[in-house]
Structure 1
Amino acid sequence: MVRYLVLYATPEDPDAFERHYCESHIPLIKVLPGLRRFAFGHSPTPGRGEPYFWVSSLEWDDMAALKAAFASPEGEAAARDVENLTKPDMLRSMIFEFEEVIH
């Protein structure tokens, strides 16, 4: 499996961020080709020392599937929408392959 992890710093307006993420960004993510699993979470106390406000985790079968998803029109739309959520310096992302040990 391949996981794409996105970590968002606390935005200026957490309520607006959450509203846009849930109403606009999630529908874009849910249609990414080959997406196997998607989850997100957020800090219950934003801005109180936690390094990140919001975390998203997306999984595909392999690196080729992830690359194909983000090269698709759906992937391009999701990537463009990130600009509506936050500034580039307010997020961190990483991609990694992993083995599942306990299922």
Structure 2
Amino acid sequence: MACVHRLTVQYFDPTDGTGFEAVYRERHVPIVQEVPGLARFVLSTPRGTGDTPHLVAELWFEDAETMKAALGSSQMSRAAEDAETYEVARRVMFAAEVEDVATSA
């Protein structure tokens, strides 16, 4: 089974949540969609107590080499520059190898 790799970006406490989401979807999403090797791009808006992010973006790649090439691309640089413009309390980004663990039936 091939290893899948994921880059996750969490955005916390935007100054204007509704405005942030609108601009993110209108401006940032098209930039990210151009990242080479991107196999899947998922957004979620978690809601919970405590230190829950406002928006989570997951960029999925088929393998480590593809993700490494994507991270060095001009498209990813453009996405990173755009991400810096959002008024959020903080942004957390991390990469991971994803293990698909089967559930028992």
Q: Does 1:30 align with 2:46?
A: no
Maintained 8 Å contact 2:15/2:87: no
Q: Which residue of 2 aligns with 1:64?
A: 65
Distance 2:46 2:7 in 1: 19
Distance 1:41 1:98 in 2: 17
| Runs of 5+ consecutive residues of structure 1 not aligned to the other structure | none
- Point out the structure with the larger strand share: 2
CA deviations over 1:41-86 (Å, ceiling 9, x no partner) = 11458xx645211111111011221121121111111111001224
Maintained 8 Å contact 1:28/1:74: yes
| Runs of 5+ consecutive residues of structure 2 not aligned to the other structure | none
Q: 1:52 aligns to what SS in structure 2? A: coil
Size of the alignment, in residue pairs? 99
- In terms of Rg, which structure is larger? 2
TM-score for both structures, normalised by structure 2: 0.83
Identity %: 31
- Point out the structure with the larger helix share: 1
TM-score for both structures, normalised by structure 1: 0.84
Maintained 8 Å contact 2:37/2:66: yes
Q: Pairwise CA RMSD of aligned residues? A: 1.9
Maintained 8 Å contact 1:10/1:54: no
Distance 1:95 1:44 in 2: 22
